Amino acid sequence: MTTAFLERDFLAYERHRQDDPEYNGLRLSVRRKLKAIVDATLKDAKAAGVTLSSQAGLHHPYTFNSYRVREQRAYLCRGPKERKKLATFFGEALGKDAETHYIQTVLEACIDDQIVEAALRIHPQAWWDGENLKKKLLNDPSELAAFCKHLRALPPGFNLKLHDWRKDHWAASVTPDDVKELMAHYTPGEHWLHVQRQLPKEDAVEMGEEAESWVRSSLLALLPVYRSILWEP
């Protein structure tokens, strides 16, 4: 199976097709393509000393996506042992969330009708990671400086974004004051936090199989940021 992105891959996520079961087969092929990309990235991350597990999102309309497949996702998250450790620490009441693979800080490959995206995301309910990051960045100048250094070291095109807010902070030029301002408005438990890089569909199609390298290298570049966010019991 080719991991190149084709023009047809984007069609299944146009609004008038998002709830059409006839496109489930096409979306399944895209799901497998993204899963193959993150699986390959998982092996590269393991070689770099980071153990992850891979998952892929739903490709068909269902209750969990409000019967619309707006985008296709595959992602990397904590391995099962690390998630189990969190669940054990939090106990029965909170442990179910902590052990769930998507309620985590994830490294994600995503496609919709317009873009291919590589991103790091902190799930709103993954408050343990969000609180850990917020506390460090607002209270420890050395941690804040290190976080900004990680962001500025990312390849061109990454931006730091809070939830669905319009304002972007470009990683290449981010300052400690930018991050502190964003953290002041960030509420773990309520907000998503994204570090993301987007590739327009026209560029993704033209790149052929090089688009896979773009996604993989983008996700691997996020590993230092990812490791700085994770909270350990």
pTM given for the model: 0.96
In a domain, 169, yes or no: yes
Please state the rounded mean pLDDT for residues 73-77.
98
Q: Are 117 and 198 in contact (CB under 8 A)?
A: yes
| 223 vs 225: CA distance, rounded Å | 5
- Provide the Cα torsion 201, 198, 120, 157; round to 10°: 160
In a domain, 148, yes or no: yes
Q: Are 24 and 224 in contact (CB under 8 A)?
A: no
In a domain, 141, yes or no: yes
The answer on pLDDT for 121 being more than 70 is yes
**Total domains, the chain:** 1
Q: Give the residue from 224, 147, 149, 160 showing the smallest Cα distance to 186.
A: 160
Classify residue 172 by its DSSP letter: G
- Tokens representing residue 46 in the block: 């393991």
In a domain, 81, yes or no: yes
| 170 vs 183: CA distance, rounded Å | 15
Q: State the number of CA atoms in the 13 A half-sphere of 74 facing the CB.
A: 23
pLDDT of residue 92: 83
Residue 72's φ and ψ, nearest 5 degrees, are: -110, 135
Domain that holds residue 75: 7-229
In a domain, 23, yes or no: yes
pLDDT of residue 119: 98
pLDDT of residue 94: 81
Residues forming beta bridges with residue 192, ordered by sequence position? none
pLDDT of residue 65: 86
In a domain, 1, yes or no: no
The CATH number for 114's domain is 3.30.930.20
Q: Give the residue from 86, 74, 66, 64 showing the smallest Cα distance to 31.
A: 74
In a domain, 2, yes or no: no
**Mean of all residue pLDDT scores within the chain:** 95
pLDDT level of residue 24 (50, 70, 90 thresholds): very high
Please state the rounded mean pLDDT for residues 136-154.
98
The answer on pLDDT for 179 being more than 90 is yes
pLDDT of residue 172: 97
Please state the rounded mean pLDDT for residues 35-46.
97
Residues forming beta bridges with residue 160, ordered by sequence position? 169, 195
Q: Is 129 helix (H, G, I), strand (E, B) or coil?
A: helix
- Tokens representing residue 6 in the block: 């084709």
